A = this chain, B = another copy of it.
């Protein structure tokens, strides 16, 4: 990185990781503060800061102002998960993609959905169901509820040409969301839609996204058998 005597933040990070690995600093230990490390390693404090921030992001140390940095007691591996638009995911595997809209209507949501969307008892929500196809075969079944009042323009979206999944990603900014992954067995309807055996084990993704205090949408994505979500550490 640098030809002169400067120490790169990566070098500092690696040295810190080495000390943690080799138990020079044990889980729970306070580690020297930034200024000391900077002096010891011969670099600016900002460089040490950058390095420690990186290590903290990986979950190996915990940092708090005034309290200092300490080696994490229970190292929690942090994996990064990429969640692409389904069309892109399918096409990146070289398969032609198609979305087919099954239904779209305003309905009173069942209690479970109403609770998740935190809407008033009598508020109807937009309910969209459709099937993502990959190479002519069913890939994922999307069952989505949208608070149309919170998502400007969604009433005019044509979900027969673009999936709600993609339309929302492209058109709706959101602050946060939560995602849960689980396994479930295919009901007879699921099986019919996804062209698999009833009772087959299916990978299920449930996502809810919000912006400010409003919950924008909640979706249930049921993937055809064989789907794997993959990531690297």
Contact = CB atoms under 8 A, between A and B. Distances in A.
Interface of A: 17, 21, 27, 59, 74-85, 88, 169-170, 173, 176-185, 199-204, 209, 225-233
Contact of A83 (B78, B173, B176, B228): B78
A176 B232 contact: yes
Given A180-B229, A184-B201, 18 more contacts: A75-B85, A76-B84, A77-B83, A77-B169, A78-B81, A78-B83, A79-B83, A80-B80, A81-B81, A178-B232, A180-B230, A181-B181, A181-B228, A182-B203, A182-B229, A183-B227, A199-B199, A209-B233
A81 B79 contact: yes
A181 B182 CA distance: 9
21 contacts: A27-B170, A76-B83, A77-B82, A77-B84, A77-B169, A78-B83, A79-B80, A79-B83, A80-B80, A176-B233, A177-B232, A177-B233, A178-B232, A179-B233, A180-B228, A180-B231, A181-B229, A181-B230, A182-B203, A183-B202, A184-B201
